[in-house]
Amino acid sequence: MKTIALIAHDEKKNEMLDFVNNHKDLLEKFHLVATKTTGELINEKYHLNVEIMLSGPMGGDQQIGALVATERVDYVIFLRDPLNAQPHEPDINALLRICDVHNVPLATNRKSAHILLKYVSSKMA
């Protein structure tokens, strides 16, 4: 089973929930991992059995990066807030870099996330 990582900065959590709602039928066919609050919100609202990592500032981005590096995450959807500085920016940049190093598709906004899932869906047919 393929794995999708879901991450959303605080200002993007509601957008992530809306995104998950729009793609729930597809997402339930994957193993999902997420940083703490994002995963808890998705589990609470949609019961998708998301595997929970630490929160981003506490190392969750690095945990997901490690999963990418060890080929245990196939796709990453990271709804980033580009307008606010993040205290763990180096961890975020490391995650983006590791996705590039390991050629793992990464969507950083809702539109690219829709495109990514459209691609993923076409590969399942």
Catalytic residues: 61
**Are 54 and 36 spatial neighbours (Cβ–Cβ below 8 Å)?**
yes
Q: In what order do the strands lie in the sheet with 106-107?
A: 51-52, 31-34, 3-8, 75-79, 106-107
User: Distance between CA atoms of 31 and 11, rounded to whole angstroms?
Assistant: 25
Contact (Cβ atoms closer than 8 angstroms) between residue 16 and residue 79: yes
Beta-strand pair 106-107/31-34: unpaired
